Amino acid sequence: MSRNMRAFKNILITGGAGFIGCNFIRFLLEKADGFSGRIINLDVLTYAGNSMSLADIEAHYGASRRYFFEHGDICDRAFVESIFKKYDIDTVVHFAAESHVDRSILGPEAFIKTNVMGTFTLLDVARNTWKAADGNIRQDALFHHISTDEVYGSLGDTGFFTEATPYDPRSPYSASKASSDHLAMAYSHTYGLPVTLSNCSNNYGPYQFPEKLIPLMILNMLEGKALPVYGDGKNIRDWLYVEDHNAAVWTIMQKGASGKTYNIGGENEWENIKLLNVLIDIVSKKAGIDADKIRGAITYVKDRPGHDRRYAIDCSKIKRELGWKQTVSFEEGLEHTVDWYLANPSWIENIRSGEYQHWIKRNYGER
Ligand code: NAD
Ligand code: DAU
């Protein structure tokens, strides 16, 4: 299925009030070549969703009727059906999820509900809505499922995850994402639903909720708090700037083959402790805080149970077949990210209030 046959008139984005979703909506409306359709952002606004992240988009593109927000749960079938009908949805980009590994260890149920049942609900509504009179599913529609490299498990010192690596999820989060990936591919294989799927490595950038490593550490440095490093600090992640992820997803939507998976990664592996030291230098320089003082706050804490040791993505397929590549260096992306957190204290205040604070205190105590 080539791009020419896909409509992209009315794109349903789930989880658009979260970190990657809100960056993707900005990207589609302001940077994506050739997109002039409407975006419908469906989000239930959990602790991780913040409508403030898109306040300017809402004001500008809401007025020109290219952006719509719908408050609701992807598990609510009647509601999802009503959205497909109301906006004549022809494309789904499915970001909505419970996304934090630590939370999945403490309370897996929400992950099963949203990541498994929610994905099933969306797929099944798409299948019914996109069925033509002859019983076949229209092939100019598209369901793009956003997933993670964590479905592949954990690597030793060498090797990379390819699209052919067998699934081996090891946390409730990654097991729930693996399950949703299998459902998406099963709907493609069994019913002919036009599905593409991407498995991406760790993203970072503006609007990321400060429970994830990079924003948590930036804010703790600025506030003089401890910097909690799990285990020996030598776990490895492959970091990608969120804007490069956006471009990869848009590339797959346009040129990706139906029923296929694409790995997306930064080719940018860092041990957590080494990353932290780079971040300390950047924050120290930008915020005028003594680097040694920040370094003194590094605190080794109890390891995450079942902590995956190393992730590393082989993304040669999307590069070779679709022509995508990373454009933002790690140094540049981190500088940008620190600048953004320094410039947006009201966003930080807003997202840290209420449920998030209570949840963190209940589960971890003061951090
Ligand atoms: P996030 O936690 O920042 O945002 C998730 C969003 O989904 C929030 O706005 C939340 O309100 C919404 N949501 C949750 N449950 C919902 C429900 N039942 N109905 C409707 N909306 C709901 O997550 P993120 O980091 O932006 O991740 C987005 C997607 O990308 C996820 O599917 C995640 O698995 C995947 N992913 C993330 C990363 C990463 O590094 N953050 C890397 C690879 C893949
Ligand atoms: O690989 C993609 C995945 O990346 C996504 O699917 C997930 O949604 C996303 O949350 C992320 O998962 P990680 O578990 O890798 O990200 P996190 O930021 O939670 O942790 C990154 C590394 O830093 C990991 O090795 C654990 C460690 N860590 C994390 C926190 C929050 C610490 O040492 N201290 C911390 O306080």
Confidence at 6, pLDDT banded by 50, 70, 90: confident
pLDDT in tens, 138-152: 999 999 999 999 999
Average pLDDT over residues 349-367: 61
The yes-or-no verdict on residue 175 having pLDDT over 50 is yes
Which sign, positive or negative, has the C-alpha torsion 51, 367, 111, 154?
A: positive
The mean of the pLDDT values for the chain is 95
CB-based burial, 134-158: b 16+ in 10 Å, e otherwise? eeebeeebbbbbbbbbbbbbbbeee
Mutate to test the pocket of ligand 2, among 167, 230, 309 (most ligand atoms within 8 A of CB): 230
Nearest-CA residue for ligand 2 atom 20 is 213
HEC per residue, the chain: CCHHHCCCCEEEEECCCCHHHHHHHHHHHHCCCCCCCEEEEEECCCCCCCHHHHHHHHHHHHHCCCEEEEECCCCCHHHHHHHHHHHCCCEEEECCCCCCHHHHHHCCHHHHHHHHHHHHHHHHHHHHHCECCCCCECCCCEEEEEEEHHHHCCCCCCCCECCCCCCCCCCHHHHHHHHHHHHHHHHHHHHCCCEEEEEECEEECCCCCCCCHHHHHHHHHHCCCCEEEECCCCCEEEEEEHHHHHHHHHHHHHHCCCCEEEEECCCCEEEHHHHHHHHHHHHHHHHCCCHHHHHCCEEEECCCCCCCCECCECCHHHHHHHCCCCCCCHHHHHHHHHHHHHHCHHHHHHHHCCHHHHHHHHHHCCC
Q: How confident is the model at residue 350 (pLDDT cuts 50, 70, 90)?
A: confident
- How far is residue 281 from each of residues 218, 233, 275, 298, measured CA to CA in Å? 11, 18, 10, 13
CA–centroid distance, residue 213 to ligand 2 (Å): 6
Model pLDDT, residue 367: 42
191 is catalytic: no
What separation in Å is there between the alpha carbon of 23 and the centre of ligand 1? 12
pTM for the full predicted model: 0.96
- CA–CA separation, 306 vs 169, rounded Å? 11
Q: How far is Cα 301 from Cα 295, in angstroms, rounded to an integer?
A: 15
Ligand nearest to the Cα of 76, by number: 1
Res 208 pLDDT > 70:
yes
Which of 196, 202, 199, 203 minimizes the C-alpha distance to 177?
199
Contacts of residue 23, Cβ cutoff 8 Å, sequence gap at least 6: 205, 206, 207, 242, 243, 245, 246
Tell me which of 102, 237, 274, 307 to substitute to probe ligand 2's pocket, judged by most ligand atoms within 8 Å of the beta carbon.
237
Q: How confident is the model at residue 3 (pLDDT cuts 50, 70, 90)?
A: very low
Q: Is the per-residue pLDDT at 316 higher than 80?
A: yes
pLDDT of 7: 77
Q: Are residues 349 and 195 in contact, defined by beta-carbon separation less than 8 angstroms?
A: no
Single out the catalytic residue among 152, 173, 241, 311: 173
What tens digit of pLDDT does each residue of 45-90 get? 999 999 889 999 999 999 999 999 999 999 999 999 999 999 999 9
- Give residue 2's pLDDT: 47
**Confidence category of residue 354, pLDDT binned at 50, 70, 90:** low
Q: Which residue has the higher pLDDT, 45 or 354?
A: 45
| Shortest-distance ligand to the CA of residue 304 | 2
Pairing relation of β-strands 269-271 and 236-241? antiparallel
Asked if residue 233 has pLDDT above 60, the reply is yes
Cα of 99 from ligand 2 centre, angstroms:
10
Q: How far is the CA of 101 from the centre of ligand 2 (A)?
A: 7
69 DSSP β-pair partners: 41
269 catalytically annotated:
no
Provide mean pLDDT across the span 326-336.
Answer: 98
Percent of the chain's residues with pLDDT above 90: 92
**112 CB within 6 A, ligand 1:** no
Ligand with minimal distance to 100 CA: 2
149 is catalytic: yes
What pLDDT was estimated at residue 1?
A: 47
Contacts of residue 65, defined as CB under 8 A and 6 or more positions apart, other chains included, come to 38
pLDDT tens-place string over residues 84-116: 999 999 999 999 999 999 999 999 999 999 999
Spatial neighbors of 341 by CB under 8 A, at least 6 apart, are 206, 215, 218, 219, 222, 348
